[in-house]
Amino acid sequence: GESNHLNWALQGERDLFSQTMESLRKEVERKDCYCGTVLLHSLSGGTGAGLSSRLCEAIREEYPLGRILSVSVAPHQSGEGSLQPYNALLCLSWLQRFADGVLLFQNDEVLKRATSLQPKEGDNAYGQVSFSAMNAYIASCLAGLFYPLKVFTTRR
C-alpha cells in the first residue's frame, strides 16, 4: 500500500511511479536471478527525493531478497530552493530504512571535480560545466564499482 507519510512526493508522479515499477517487473521477469537494483537519483525536489524514496520502499516490499543500492546526489550547499534541505533529509531517512547501501555524491564536489577534468580554455568558471560533464564524472566513479573483478585477478 501507499505510505501516507511520503506526502512530499508529488501526486502527479503516480504515473511515473507505476511505469517505473512496471518496467522493473519486466526486467526482473527476464532474469534468471534477480540480485538487486541500483537507484540513481537526486536528494532534492519531489521527483528526486519523494519519488525515489517511494520507489525504494516499493522495490524493498516487492523484492525483499534483492539488494538496493542508492546512488544519491545531494543539492548544492547554497541550494536553489528553501525546501531542498528538508527534501534531502526526508529522503535520507527513508533510504536508511529501505536501502542496503547509499553512495552519496555532493553537487558542489562533483562540480569541482568535473571542472578540473575539463580542458582549460581561458577562465573556466563553475557555471560553464554542463550537467552532462557532471553526470559523466559520477558515471566514471560508478564504473570502477561495477567493472567485473576477474579483470583484476593475477595470472599464475
pLDDT tens-digit readout, 37-95: 999 998 987 677 888 999 999 999 999 999 999 999 988 877 667 778 888 888 999 99
Locus of grid cell 550547499: 77
pLDDT score recorded for residue 118: 80
Closest CA to 75 of 134, 5, 13, 146: 134
* Per-residue pLDDT, 153: 57
Tens of pLDDT, residue by residue over 102-116, are: 999 999 999 999 998
pTM: 0.76
Could you give the dihedral angle defined by the CA atoms of residues 12, 105, 110 and 87, in that order, rounded to the nearest 10 degrees? 40
Q: List, in order, residues 6 or more apart from 6 with CB less than 8 Å away.
A: 50, 53, 54, 57, 94
Q: What is the pLDDT of residue 67?
A: 96
**Into which CATH architecture does domain 11-152 fall?**
3-Layer(aba) Sandwich (3.40)
Share the mean pLDDT of the chain.
Answer: 82
pLDDT at residue 154 tops 70: no
For residue 53 the three cell numbers come to 524514496
pLDDT at residue 22, as a whole number: 96
How many angstroms separate the CA atoms of 55 and 138, rounded? 21
Q: What percent of the chain has pLDDT over 70?
A: 78
